[in-house]
């Protein structure tokens, strides 16, 4: 065996071991969610009996699991729509349009990223509920997350990496800025678009504090809020509290894992060199 092949096998072994380490918490969570009496002892890492769906049944009997899931979808998809639309427009403007104060806007956007959302939560709550009267509404939950500075930063950096000649040629051919954005720029920054979707999806999907502040109506609360209430108030009173907690965590994590598995193949560099002659 050549030296290069030997080091190649070592690399794959190390990467496989690292993958197992990162995947083990998900495996433990999934196995524990379906066990009658989950435990962290080593002899139960490969259980051969005691499988049950009762933990999920207990959750559904205490909360409206389907309704909470639909609320999470409405909340998350609304945030995704705002993030992608405003992020694309703002990122393109900062990267490819010349206007007075562009540098100031860029610096202010970077400064906003340094401010924790928790610091703004109380003023936003007062503004959304008292100023706009959007308490107990989906719009009240979506509005504070509709513009994401991280998404603007990602799109700006990707648009700056595109060859300037493409935009100049399109303008010479008479294309407007919106046409250049939708027909030329967006197809070439698909990796950035997928990155923004995944990063943005995780945030609102797991967010429970802000929706809990906006609405106390159980019929409007997203899945994260309903599961947090269930785990903190009900799970400990069940016959299998560990199973109830792990089942709730599995229910919340499963859509994120599926989304990542579906879109991970798009994490590759865009072929932008072929768009420019010579």
* Domains with residue ranges and CATH for the chain: 66-224+250-275 (1.10.3720.10)
**Rounded Cα gap, residues 71 and 80, in angstroms:** 14
Q: How confident is the model at residue 80 (pLDDT cuts 50, 70, 90)?
A: very high
What pLDDT digit, counting tens, does each position of 81-133 carry?
A: 999 999 999 999 998 888 888 889 999 988 888 888 888 888 999 999 998 99
32-36, 38-42, 141-145: which is most confident: 141-145
What's the pLDDT at 143? 92
**Rounded Cα gap, residues 90 and 153, in angstroms:** 9
Q: How confident is the model at residue 277 (pLDDT cuts 50, 70, 90)?
A: very low
What's the pLDDT at 215? 87
What's the pLDDT at 77? 93
Q: How confident is the model at residue 273 (pLDDT cuts 50, 70, 90)?
A: very low
Do residues 76 and 83 make contact, with C-beta atoms less than 8 angstroms apart?
no
Q: What is the per-residue DSSP string for the chain?
A: --HHHHHHHHHHHHHHHHHHHHHHHHHHHHHHHTBSS---SGGGSS--S-B-SHHHHHHHHHS-HHHHHHHHHHHHHHHHHHHHHHHHHHHHHHHH---TTHHHHHHHHHHHHTS-HHHHHHHHHHIIIIIS--TTSHHHHHGGGSS-HHHHHHHHHHHHHS-HHHHHHHHHTT--HHHHIIIIIHHHTHHHHHHHHHHHHHHHHH--HHHHHH---GGG--HHHHHHHHHHHTGGGSS-HHHHHHHHHHHHHHHHHHHHHHHGGG-S----GGGS--
């Amino acid at each position: 065996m050549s030296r290069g092949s030997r080091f190649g096998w070592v690399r794959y072994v190390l990467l496989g071991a690292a993958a197992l380490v990162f995947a083990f918490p998900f495996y433990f969570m999934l196995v524990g969610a379906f066990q009658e009496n989950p435990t962290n002892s080593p002899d139960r890492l490969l259980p051969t009996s005691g499988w049950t769906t009762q933990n999920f049944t207990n959750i559904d009997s205490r909360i409206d699991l389907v309704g909470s899931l639909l609320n999470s979808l409405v909340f998350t998809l609304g945030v995704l729509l705002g993030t992608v639309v405003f992020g694309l427009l703002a990122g393109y403007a900062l990267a490819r349009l010349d206007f007075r104060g562009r540098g100031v806007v860029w610096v202010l956007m970077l400064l906003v990223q340094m401010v924790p959302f928790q610091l703004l939560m109380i003023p936003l709550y007062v503004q959304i509920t008292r100023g706009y009267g959007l308490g107990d509404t989906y719009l009240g939950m979506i509005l504070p997350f509709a513009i994401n500075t991280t998404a603007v930063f990602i799109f700006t950096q990707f648009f700056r990496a595109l060859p300037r000649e493409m935009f100049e040629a399109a303008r010479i051919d008479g294309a407007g800025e919106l046409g250049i954005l939708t027909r030329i720029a967006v197809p070439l920054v698909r990796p950035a678009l997928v990155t923004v979707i995944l990063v943005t999806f995780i945030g609102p999907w797991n967010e429970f504090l802000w929706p809990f502040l906006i609405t106390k109506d159980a019929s409007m609360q997203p899945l994260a809020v309903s599961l947090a209430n269930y785990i903190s108030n009900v799970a400990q009173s069940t016959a299998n509290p560990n199973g109830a907690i792990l089942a709730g965590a599995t229910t919340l994590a499963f859509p994120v894992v599926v989304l990542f598995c579906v879109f991970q193949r798009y994490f590759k560099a865009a072929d932008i060199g072929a768009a420019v002659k010579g």
